[in-house]
Amino acid sequence: MGAIEYAIDNWDRLLEFALQHIGFVLLSIVIATVIGVTLGVLTYQRPTAAALVIAVSATILTIPSFALFGLGITFFGIGNLGPVIGLILYSQLPIVRNTITGLQEVDPAVVESARGMGMSRWQSLWRIELPLAWPVVLTGVRVATLIVTSIFAIAAYVGASGLGREIDRGLSNLGAAWAFDVVLTATVAIVLVALVLDVLYMLIGKLTIPRGVRS
Amino acid sequence: MPASEADPPAMIRLEELTKYYPGSDEPAVDAVTMDIPEGEIVVLVGPSGCGKTTTLKMINRIVEPTSGRISLEGEDVTDVDPDRLRRRIGYVIQQVGLFPHRTIAQNIATVPRLLGWDKERITERVDELLELVGMDPATYGPRYPKELSGGQRQRVGVARAMAADPPVMLMDEPFGAIDPITRDRLQNEFLRLQQEIEKTIVFVTHDIDEAIKMGDRIAIFGNDHRIQQYASPEMLLSNPINEFVDAFTGTGASLKRLNLTRVRDVALSDWPTAASDSPREELQRRLAETEHSFLLLLDRQQRPLRWISERDLARSDWTHHGGLKVRAVVEPHVTLHNALDEMLTSNVGVATVVDERGAYQGVVDIDTVMTAVNAMRAETRERVRVAPWHGVTASDVADATESRA
């Protein structure tokens, strides 16, 4: 098959694109996690605010990425900045929603005993509630990562790096004999990147979820 | 109402403590005033929604009072920083609320860590506390809460509350979610522990029997969210101030009172005894001398063996194994309630009391029980005359006593 031959002949090039892809996805996810968890922490005890934040982030996720990245050029020009901001926005729904759910699901008796022993609001949140909500938050982050790994491929048409470049190049030359192989190879590579990231999350979970709350 | 001179000093004083929850016209707690004396267990008891738990939670300001004052060790703490206040007060709740992501040792270390103790002191204290609640530190310290049984978790909850040696402990239905047998054991363990630690304890329950068992004093809350009566268990049972208290303490009040007295506290009755190896003629002579129809045979170590009657002695095939086996044997530490129970199952209508080596001490019969009940009644009446309790005037008590007589 042509695609396999292409992959073997160009593995160093593909690896470089894959690493760029992973790099920008993880960069966006780290920033998105900080923002999303903060939004969750600020709203989980206020039902109206929580519903509003979830509704807004759900709405964002319905905007077609093709359109969002295109509009981004107006503000951020060509390159990676616009797409990274786009990925951060797309990540919000799973992260914010899981943070809110995770914090709300912490046993109220545990929180009451934490406060009852003299932990401040902040100490209770930081030492007790967030660690207990962490498995749920981490699942949200994992889902967000899967979503943006595929969305980032679209961003190549506004000049972003990553495996999307290859897909873009193939699709622009569809008449050529090699074009189909290039698109197929890059698509498979994105799926592999997603799998690698998923394994990474399994490891993070193993390392960060305390033994007492692991199921 | 200030405590009378005979009482220990108040560790906690609540003055006109009132709570209205937002959006409710009816107070959850209505003008509660009480002194909680140092080193005693005070039980707040009442039907659900009566305000007992809200009152408890206002003491450590988990619930902020709408009005009224709270003092701890003579210091007004109504407006101090609640986080600092809570580190001086142990807190145990029904669901325990152990931190699932932390080990048992880390759970117990919570307050000492907040107070900034050094590591060595914390480790020492954690081991000491685990020993105190009867759990091996090496085995249980590194475990997680989910690896423990309900009863063990509750013990850890108590140990965690005592970690920084607070003078005061608040306990909200601490044994409420535990099976009856384990609950009984935990209650006994806790009472034994309290004899050592002598904390001031406020204890909430909806179970009047638990209140009577655990409390040095009991405050009964009514449906009007006020204290109906605040008194010792003896007082509540013998002199309920109104119909609500009477109904709440239950129709079995006199029977419950027998739980408050132990066999060692009452004068035992005598019963004619004889050595089991005495000749038949001597046994017959002994029995004829008494008005009892049974003679109690003891072995050489004074341990009760058999009940024998004139008829047993008259049998041609008489041996020293004749007569009835001695059942209903009790030791001095059991309650009169237990003794009465045994008595009713015994074949001669008495419970035989033996010391820890099994040697005969005397018997508990119906007269012993009646004498004890009358003595308790007289004692409570006397105490009422000397030191009136919260809201109880001497004439109320006289009325109550009359109407019962």
pLDDT at B30: 94
Q: Residue A76's pLDDT is what?
A: 92
Chain A to chain B Cβ contacts (< 8 Å): 72
Q: How far apart are CA B234 and CA B251, in angstroms?
A: 15
Closest partner residue to B62 (CB to CB) among A115, A123, A211 is A115
Find the length of chain A: 215
Q: Do A116 and B85 touch (CB under 8 A)?
A: no
For the segment B189-243, what is each residue's pLDDT rounded down to a tens digit? 898 889 888 999 999 999 888 998 899 999 999 999 999 999 999 888 888 899 9
**pLDDT confidence of residue B253:** 66
CA atoms of B392 and B398, how far apart (whole Å): 10
CA B405/CA B402 separation, integer angstroms: 5
Residues B383 and B381: their CA atoms lie apart, in Å, by 5
Cα distance from B59 to chain A (closest Cα, Å)?
11
| The pLDDT of residue B388 | 44
Regions of chain B with pLDDT less than 70: 1-8, 251-254, 380-405
Give how far the C-alpha of residue B79 lies from the chain's centroid of Cα atoms, to the nearest Å.
34
Q: How far apart are CA B252 and CA B256, in angstroms?
A: 6
| Tens-digit pLDDT profile for residues A91-107 | 999 999 999 999 999 99
The segments of chain A whose pLDDT lies below 70 read 1, 215
pLDDT at B159: 95
Report which of B69, B108, B71 is spatially closest to residue B90, judged by C-alpha positions. B108
Nearest of B405, B339, B349 to residue B374 by alpha carbon: B405
Q: Would the CB atoms of B96 and A113 count as touching at under 8 Å?
A: yes
Closest-CA distance, B115 to chain A, in angstroms, reads 10
Nearest CA-CA distance, residue B98 and chain A, Å: 6
